[in-house]
Amino acid sequence: MLRIGIIGAGRIGKVHTQSICNYVRDAVITTIADPFITPELEQWAKQNGIANTTKNYQDILQDPNIDAVLICSSTDTHAAISLEAIAAGKHIFCEKPIDHDIGKIKAVLNALADTSIKYMVGFNRRFDHNFRAVRAAVEAGKVGKVEIVKITSRDPNPPSAEYAARSGGMFLDMTIHDFDMVRYLSGEEVEEVFVHPAVLVDPAIGEAGDVDTAVITLKLQSGALAVIDNCRRCAYGYDQRAEVFGSLGAAACGNDAASNVQVSAANGVTGEKPLFFFLERYMRAYATEVEEFIAAVVNDTPVPVDAAAGLEAVRIGIAATVSSKEGRPVKLAEIEA
């Protein structure tokens, strides 16, 4: 039984806590750390079977009975806490991104070198049953040589302008998942990024220095192309679709819904809207990724998404940010490796 400490009890920390408590059999959460622990949060932890809460994450790192940590704190703390956790000899699951600064990510990679510590980055969409089935079809050669990857990713509601201002920008906050999915679904690396950005949803997001809508084209190493369309608002819910088109055919997946029932009547045919947001769509994927992290620790096997993969997604996100601001294609070679 792997003993886990969770650092950060915000939204994503609570998601992981609930998924582990509800789905994961081979791990137990012993402690949750958050500087803003409240009596309500302590009670919530106890209701989930977690006896220990603390305001100081160092209590987790210094606890010899804790085997692994989940870093679910704010992005600006990920790299620093990762380095401390590596020094403490803990296995680490870190929410994306490791950092927005490539130098800080490289410091984590350097600290991991020549250690036996497992370090996994939380790109949960790789563990969604739909996207995994598309990837399996590509790996099995069913689509032939990959030629086009298409990803649609649209959130149901836009974030606040305040959030947009401190998020690192849409490409490092939202689209970073899609950049990772391009690499995952195609099995290839990205060579060039070109962004057509817009502010069509909320002018305040633009005033905060960000964008809320974009069409992004990417060139892959083989010459294949990828297209991502993003929007921070989608009136019908959380739109998450993907297609890989190749020389022999295509593999595509649509949205999950509460049911696949269609009602046909004289006034038309109606069905369910997509599941509302990421908690509804990806809750099981969150559990699966932690299960596979635990299996890698227990069986001493490679993690499915390592720190190097985390670095590549950030490199693409930085290239996209430069492209958005400068209005030109940006080669990944321009971004520090």
- The band of 337, judged by pLDDT with boundaries at 50, 70 and 90, is low
Where do you find CATH 3.40.50.720 in the chain?
2-117
Instruction: From the options 3.40.50.150, 3.30.360.10, 3.90.550.10, 3.40.50.720, give the CATH code of 2-117.
Output: 3.40.50.720
Per-residue pLDDT tens digits for 124-175: 999 999 999 999 999 999 999 999 999 999 999 999 999 999 899 999 999 9
- Distance, in Å, from the CA atom of 99 to the CA atom of 88, rounded to the nearest integer, reads 20
> Sheet containing 119-122: which strands, arranged edge to edge?
52-54, 27-33, 2-7, 68-71, 91-95, 119-122
Where do you find CATH 3.30.360.10 in the chain?
126-281+313-334
Is 126-281+313-334 a domain of CATH 3.30.360.10? yes
Per-residue pLDDT tens digits for 89-120: 999 999 999 999 999 999 999 999 999 999 99
Enter the pTM of the model. 0.94
Average pLDDT, the chain: 95
Per-residue pLDDT tens digits for 28-67: 999 999 999 999 999 999 999 998 999 999 999 999 999 9
> Sheet containing 330-331: which strands, arranged edge to edge?
250-253, 239-246, 146-154, 225-231, 213-220, 190-198, 330-331
What is residue 70's predicted lDDT score, i.e. its pLDDT?
Answer: 98
